[in-house]
């Protein structure tokens, strides 16, 4: 089972172009919970998601394909925290970062989605459009 501390090593293996930026973020105490000293993974994602949008814009499809394989693995093999991080962190973060880019549409990421990730991607879209009251996996649009 994938735990929270396993996530970023998997992400960095898939997206080595983020490694330099990660080396700055990783050591910054601002990204740690003061009470527990643990990583604030959702803050990490806030820095990572715009990088993913940049990859799509530059056509770095190899890294994107590997990243979305990792996100699928987080959904299928992660503990409860990791599964939620995959959806509310990574997928929603990518959707949000994409929404701040005039020349890119969310659906450009859909070819990379695995089966489970696609269900949660649809659930996020349904939630934000007001179709459903909470984020939940959706099998069809």
Contact 140, 131 (CB under 8 A): no
In angstroms, rounded to a whole number, what is the distance separating the alpha carbons of residues 29 and 25?
9
Read off the pLDDT of residues 39-87 as tens digits, 9 standing for 90 and up. 888 889 999 999 999 999 999 889 999 999 999 999 999 999 999 999 9
Read off the pLDDT of residues 16-36 as tens digits, 9 standing for 90 and up. 999 999 998 887 877 778 888
Contact 71, 91 (CB under 8 A): yes
- The alpha-helical segments, DSSP class H, found in the chain are 4-14, 19-26, 41-58, 61-77, 80-84, 92-99, 115-128
In angstroms, rounded to a whole number, what is the distance separating the alpha carbons of residues 106 and 31?
27
pTM exceeds 0.85 for this model: yes
In angstroms, rounded to a whole number, what is the distance separating the alpha carbons of residues 40 and 32?
5
Structure tokens at 57: 């814009």
**CA-to-CA dists, residue 108 to 4, 99, 105, angstroms:** 28, 12, 6
């Amino acid at each position: 089972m994938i735990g929270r501390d396993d996530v970023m090593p998997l992400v960095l293996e898939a997206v080595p172009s983020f490694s330099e930026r990660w080396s700055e973020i990783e050591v910054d105490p601002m990204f740690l919970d003061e009470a527990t000293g643990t990583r604030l993974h959702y803050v990490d994602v806030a820095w990572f998601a715009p990088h993913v949008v940049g990859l799509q814009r530059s056509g770095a499809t190899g890294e994107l394909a590997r990243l979305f394989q990792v996100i699928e693995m987080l959904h299928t093999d992660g503990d409860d925290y990791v599964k939620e991080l995959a959806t509310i962190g990574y997928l929603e973060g990518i959707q949000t970062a994409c929404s701040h880019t005039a020349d890119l549409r969310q659906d450009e990421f859909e070819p990379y989605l695995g089966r489970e990730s696609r269900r949660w991607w649809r659930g996020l879209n349904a939630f934000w459009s007001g179709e459903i009251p909470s984020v939940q996996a959706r099998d069809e649009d």
